[in-house]
Structure 1
Amino acid sequence: MAMNEYLIADPAERKERAEDKERWTLEFLRDEIYSTTAILAREMAVGDRAARNVLNRMAKRGLLVKDEVKFMEGRALPLWGITSSGVLEGLTPEEVETVNLRSHRVGGVSPTTIAHTLDVQRCRQHCEIDLDFEDWTPTRLLPAQEKKKNHPDRWSVYPDGVVMQPVKDERLVPVAIEVERSRKTPQRYIQIIRGHIRNIEAKRYFRVYYFCQTKNAAASLQALFLRLMKEKDIGYWVENSEESEKLSPEQSVKLFVFRGMEDF
């Protein structure tokens, strides 16, 4: 855990550390729009109490807004959302030309989607902080996401995010991230599997990481994918020098990596 800036003796270093935490928070929320204290605390590399001090300070300056999502049983989850001022804070003119201008709307978070959204944010942090992946792109910022469903530029399926993974030769390659909180029907999974394979064949990304609530759930989903791919003879087409070759379901399922979320 990083040291609180108030314990740093040098005023210049203390100021720089405080500015770093605000910058990291704004960078994260420009993509995610809103989040919780705990998630933003990890983004700042501090504890929850120190994070609340930073977040309250930013809210007083109009960079963030406090909000909450209320559930039917009466409990409420506090949230922090980025404002229009926060979106533009500290950006260069060149960055202003391309930054996504969406800000948080108080009261606009649905209780039915919040758990999945926060799990995606936790997976993003796991990828970027623990695995050293880079350049996360959330679903809503992926290419042609705003186009109509029959538009030729739309992807076959949209994952929860795409992030750049380091590989052995020091290159970065795009991989898709999916967070699976509950099971879908077999028919829906068949559509999703085929959609991901079409995206991989189009080189939009090279692998799909599925994060489930537990390792057991991840192993079960992997077994289901393999069964469905065998039953429907779903395979990945590889372009060789002379002709295309369809890989077997057993080979093609290796394009999907299944992980549990217990450890993070």
Structure 2
Amino acid sequence: MKDTSHFIHDKDEQKLRTEAKRNKILKFLSDETFSTSEILGQLLELSRTATYRTLKSMEKEGMVKLYEIEYELAQKGKQTIWGLTPTGALLATDLEDFHVDHFEASRIAKSTMAHSIATQRVKVSARKRGWEEWISSRKLKQMASKDRNKWKQIPDALAVKDGKTFAFEIERTVKTPKRYESILAGYAEMFVAGTVAGTIYICPENLVRRLEVLFSKIEKISIQGRVHPVHENVRKRIKFLTLEQWSEKE
């Protein structure tokens, strides 16, 4: 009889690889609830065709669902989104921190969706360059609600590099100078407390320099009812980059 054991091995190997890809997608979507083919392809380091094939197989098994969403960043006014279904959410949830959350397009504002997509791009790029323990804004809000004394400012994300925790702010539009004074005060307290080592602002190219100048013009901040001058040690912990600069940064 002809030996076919190598075919069994190949099929087993293929099954393991498929499961690994699916688990990677489910883990990512458990944090974000939705994403795009482009971002998930970057996550898996696969071609567009291979990524689409994986997602379609997951859709067939009820783990994800394909949506066409109209929102401001989309080409031709529409963006294809892969959303986590209730089945996918259950499979993705961490048994140690059991929280089932699936995607519902009607619950998410278009501006929130665009911001999340921008943050996901930063996240995928960060993971490739050795940033670890990425925590997205949804989980940070849950953490902050339990300890407001620690979280004076809630970033869009947190991640660790070389043992140091950094806050990420993905800024697509500019807030008022007064609001930035409050944000700077919050981060100053968090720097002193050791909650974060620094903050990285990632902005569109037309905003990055202007935002940096705006921060440089803030001379005083109010902390616990007392006014303090902004110390140079606070300023140097805040960096401003475009998405392109962040993606190219080593």
- Tell me which interval the TM-score lies in, with the shorter structure as reference length: 0.7 to 0.9
What is aligned with 1:58? 58
Q: Distance in 1 between matches of 2:221 and 2:152?
A: 19
2:203–2:242 contact (8 Å) kept in structure 1: yes
Deviations 1:194-253 (A, max 9, x none): 111112222221110111112x6323322221221xx32689xxxxxxxxxx99633321
Mapped pair 1:217 → 2:207: yes
Q: Distance in 2 between matches of 1:101 and 1:41?
A: 24
Deviation at 1:88, TM superposition (A): 2.9
Query: Which AA in structure 1 matches 2:39?
Result: I
Deviation at 1:158, TM superposition (A): 0.6
Q: Structure 2 vs 1, CA of residues 146 and 221 (structure 1 numbering), >3 Å: closer, same or farther?
A: closer
- Give the paired residue count: 232
Mapped pair 1:208 → 2:199: yes
Q: Distance in 2 between matches of 1:97 and 1:57?
A: 28
1:209–1:259 contact (8 Å) kept in structure 2: yes
1:65–1:83 contact (8 Å) kept in structure 2: yes
Give the number of the structure with larger relative contact order, counting CA–CA contacts within 8 Å between residues 6 or more apart.
2
Q: Distance in 1 between matches of 2:103 and 2:138?
A: 14
What is aligned with 1:6? none
Deviation at 1:144, TM superposition (A): 4.9
Deviation at 1:190, TM superposition (A): 0.5
Given the two structures, how large is their TM-score scaled by the length of structure 2? 0.82
Mapped pair 1:26 → 2:26: yes
The counterpart of 1:135, out of the listed 127, 133, 136, is 133
2:144–2:154 contact (8 Å) kept in structure 1: no
The counterpart of 2:173, out of the listed 169, 175, 182, is 182
1:120–1:179 contact (8 Å) kept in structure 2: yes
Deviation at 1:145, TM superposition (A): 4.9
Deviations 1:89-144 (A, max 9, x none): 277xxx42413311112433322222211001111112111x21011111221265
Deviation at 1:30, TM superposition (A): 0.4
The counterpart of 1:77, out of the listed 76, 79, 84, is 79
The counterpart of 1:191, out of the listed 172, 176, 182, is 182
What is aligned with 2:15? 15
2:71–2:114 contact (8 Å) kept in structure 1: no
Q: Secondary structure at the match of 1:103?
A: coil
1:143–1:154 contact (8 Å) kept in structure 2: no
1:164–1:173 contact (8 Å) kept in structure 2: yes
Q: Secondary structure at the match of 1:262?
A: helix
Q: Structure 2 vs 1, CA of residues 57 and 206 (structure 1 numbering), >3 Å: closer, same or farther?
A: same
The counterpart of 2:157, out of the listed 153, 156, 161, is 161
Tell me which protein shows more helix as a share of its residues: 2
What is aligned with 1:38? 38
Query: Which AA in structure 2 matches 1:142?
Result: L
Q: Distance in 2 between matches of 1:16 and 1:147?
A: 39
Query: Which AA in structure 1 matches 2:136?
Result: P
Mapped pair 1:48 → 2:36: no
Given the two structures, how large is their TM-score scaled by the length of structure 1? 0.78
Query: Which AA in structure 1 matches 2:17?
Result: R
Identity %, equivalent residues:
28
Query: Which AA in structure 1 matches 2:52?
Result: R
Q: Structure 2 vs 1, CA of residues 123 and 224 (structure 1 numbering), >3 Å: closer, same or farther?
A: same
Q: Structure 2 vs 1, CA of residues 233 and 86 (structure 1 numbering), >3 Å: closer, same or farther?
A: closer
Q: Distance in 1 between matches of 2:149 and 2:220?
A: 26
2:203–2:243 contact (8 Å) kept in structure 1: yes
Q: Distance in 2 between matches of 1:153 and 1:144?
A: 14
Q: CA RMSD in A?
A: 2.8
Deviations 1:16-66 (A, max 9, x none): 222221111011000011011111111111122211111111011011122
